[in-house]
Amino acid sequence: MTFSSASADLYSVTELAEELGITPRAIRFYETKGLIKPRRAGTTRVYTYRDRARMQLILRGKRLGFSLADIKEYLDMYDVDPSRAKQVKLLLEKVDRRIGELEQQREDLETTLAELDEMRQQCVAKVEGATQ
């Protein structure tokens, strides 16, 4: 059941988790890291549309390989810079850095695959030579 308020819908931890396709435990983890801050309705945690949007950004950041520290820094900029100019600049820097990291990983993978292919060819040649 979604809690209703005059200004926005509120979600329980279970509802938010279901909507995002994650566990309530994952949401609580991000709470402990200070990435989201739920309100309280009595003893129940309730999450706003803003919390939901922040969780979507957190999950996207994790999927793209950003650290929690990077994600937190990016999210904190929402509160500091209403124009979002600093946030976009920070995001651009982090995206460029992540692209560089992934390109380096791709080079490393290609090198490793080439070495393994060469090793495999040597093994096949030895096996074929031993059976003849």
Residue 8: the pLDDT is 56
Residue 82: the pLDDT is 67
The residue among 36, 64, 68, 65 whose CA lies nearest residue 52 is 36
Residue 103: the pLDDT is 97
Angle between the N-to-C axes of helices 24-32 and 13-20, in degrees from 0 to 180, rounded to the nearest 10: 110
Residue 26: the pLDDT is 97
Dihedral sign (CA 74, 79, 84, 85): negative
Tens-level pLDDT at each residue, the chain (132 residues):
455 444 458 999 999 999 999 999 999 999 999 999 999 888 888 999 999 999 999 999 999 999 999 999 888 887 776 677 888 888 899 999 999 999 999 999 999 999 999 999 999 999 998 877
Residue 5: the pLDDT is 43
The residues, ordered by sequence, that sit 6+ positions from 66 with a Cβ below 8 Å of its Cβ are: 74, 94, 98
Q: What is the pTM of this model?
A: 0.73
